[in-house]
Amino acid sequence: MKGFLALEDGTVFAGESVGAEGFAFGEAVFTTAMTGYQEIVTDPSFAEQIVTFTAPMVGNYGVEQARSESALPHARAVVMREARGPAWTDWLVQHGLVGLSGADTRTLTLHLRDRGAMRAIAVAGDASVEEAVEAARALGVEEEAVPLSATEVAERCASPRFRSGALFRDGATVQPGRLVRALRDATRGGVGTILNEMAKASNVAVVVEENKVPVRPEVTGACEILGIDPLYVACEGRFVAVVDAASADDALDALRHHPGGEGAAVIGHVKDDPPGLVLLKTGFGGTRIVDVLVGDPLPRIC
């Protein structure tokens, strides 16, 4: 079955449908992960997104329920250069995810890198390309509009459908509409990059305490040898959450009760001044600015 991905700027990428039939609206993004495709699709940080994999083949080692980050997928659709199956493609069909194979993911990735994430529609089946592009452009007034605010994404991730990937404990969510102010995936550009983006977007200052940032000893050692700041290293499978100060302990407790969240930590706070900057309180008692990353981020090596 034929399929395609249509971006809001009118660019269209053709492919073959290997997942569920139909269409999916979302924010078109890409991931450079070489492994972990099932984890990515079920990761709450990819909620409401159409994920393009830069890896040349996806699905090589099948699927396993234990690998899922959540009970159900959060991504809306996946776009791949070559999908391997049948376990992976059957899984996509079973979970109602549109999947496209045979797409020119290199050109798509460069396009998104240069122009930024944008609204899109992934189509599996017969459909008018022109109408699909118009539908992608029209997103913003419909119920399924993207991009969503961080609070809206948090509320959806805390619904019964997404409970195992949300701030969830003892059968109840931790009031995400009030608690969560922002959620960001720390894969591309690391923690330092996303904190700078948050600070500039909200015109606030972010203060981080170096000694509270959970970095594994082996990562610290490798960074020292290579001369790399750990704050800019891709951090796959982790996210940064900005929550109300009064609810920080509840959020931390909820995360630590979730499998894989045992190392969650409060690493800093937000204040008014100086707006747009990220400040790091070092282990030696000083303070320095965490600058915006210049050039391309360090590629992730899996």
The residues spanned by each domain of the chain are: 2-138, 150-289
Q: In the numeric block, which tokens belong to residue 276?
A: 């747009």
Q: How much is the mean pLDDT over the chain?
A: 81
User: What is residue 296's predicted lDDT score, i.e. its pLDDT?
Assistant: 60
User: What is residue 298's predicted lDDT score, i.e. its pLDDT?
Assistant: 59
Please tell me whether residue 120 adopts helix, strand or coil conformation: strand
Q: What are the pLDDT digits (tens) for 273-284? A: 898 999 999 888
pLDDT, mean of residues 282-298: 80
CA distance 128 to 121: 12
Instruction: Identify the bridge partners of residue 51 per DSSP, sorted by sequence position.
Output: 29, 78
Cα–Cα distances (Å) from 217 to 21, 232, 274, 299, 301, in that order, read 46, 16, 32, 20, 18
Phi, psi torsion values for 232, nearest 5 degrees? -105, 5
Domain 2-138 and domain 150-289 have a common topology: no
pLDDT-derived band at 295, boundaries 50, 70, 90:
low
Q: What are the pLDDT digits (tens) for 150-177? A: 444 444 444 433 333 333 333 333 444 4
User: What is residue 170's predicted lDDT score, i.e. its pLDDT?
Assistant: 38
Contact yes or no for 131/121 (Cβ under 8 A): no
pLDDT, mean of residues 136-143: 60
Least confident of 66-80, 186-200, 273-287: 186-200
Instruction: Identify the bridge partners of residue 3 per DSSP, sorted by sequence position.
Output: 15, 124
Least confident of 34-43, 66-75, 288-297: 288-297
CA distance 53 to 146: 20
Say yes or no to pLDDT of 144 above 50.
no
User: What is residue 87's predicted lDDT score, i.e. its pLDDT?
Assistant: 95
- The third-level CATH classification (topology) of the domain covering 150-289 is Phosphoribosyl-aminoimidazole Synthetase; Chain A, domain 2 (3.90.650)
CATH of 2-138, one of 2.60.40.1220, 2.60.40.420, 3.50.30.20, 3.30.930.10: 3.50.30.20
User: What is residue 246's predicted lDDT score, i.e. its pLDDT?
Assistant: 82
CA distance 88 to 18: 9
List the Cα angle 191/194/198 in 5-degree steps: 130
User: What is residue 245's predicted lDDT score, i.e. its pLDDT?
Assistant: 83
Say yes or no to pLDDT of 84 above 50.
yes
